Structure 1
Amino acid sequence: MKPEVPAVLAELAGLVARNAVPDVDPAERAGALGLSAALLGMAAEAWDGAAQRLVEENRALRALLSAAGDLAGRDAWLAGGVDDDLRISVLSAANARLRAALVDLHAAVELDSSPEARVLEAQIWDELRRSTERRLMSGALA
């Protein structure tokens, strides 16, 4: 979920505090409560699956970097990582590093005209599609 769940929860805390004041317009309060309920539901869904999604994604990105060989360049070392620490903040930081490496790898693959590069490019696009699907919320219009 973007923004990250802790930021959403902090914003909701402020929204609840602002709407606890007795002189808030009832229509404004109703709108704020509706928004709060929707965001809390989305945050709960995102948080529940976040570690699993990040571990799956980090694994897939490491596999792509590993398969890239020399094309991975300076980011090749990331392919050997593992997710031992399952805190969301740690998994997210690793995911950000791996995604940055994927961007660099994708750029390198696009410049390479070899058949192997075309296969890797297709694998990159496939992982990007799967990554998007992992992030779909149950109420998403898709």
Structure 2
Amino acid sequence: MTKTPLTVNGAEKLAAELRHLKTVERPRTIAAIAEARSHGDLSENAEYDAAKERQGFVEGRIQEVESKLANAQIIDPKLLDADGRCVFGATLDLDDQETGARVSYQIVGEDEADIKAGKISINSPIARALIGKFAGDIAEVQAPGGVREYEIIAVRYE
């Protein structure tokens, strides 16, 4: 299986989610199943069915997070030496050539992406257009509304 890039913060968040699932959600679900079993007939026990369904979800998510962490290539942007090039983990200050708006994005892994927090997926069209470019370059991004151009103002590794 191929390694998936993940920032240090992204790995910490996944590890925290895994701890929460194992120490809080799993015991809570087991208790709910035990409670529902105590009500007797399981064939028409909606509480039992719901608890078992929840258990399936929790166990599935635990496996998914464990797999992501096992296959993660954790990258610390502070340790990058990319000579000002746009790379995974870098934070970019961009100038939208059409509107003149300034935006900042950090290029992160799929699971970390959150456009409202300024984090874009490495697989997004804008990140793919920016990778490998330097401050001062213009990146053309194929957007749903047509091609958009962004000038790279600064590249930071924080």
TM-score under structure 1 normalisation? 0.42
- Structure with greater proportional strand content: 2
Structure (1 or 2) with the larger CA radius of gyration: 2
TM-score under structure 2 normalisation? 0.39
- Structure with greater proportional helix content: 1
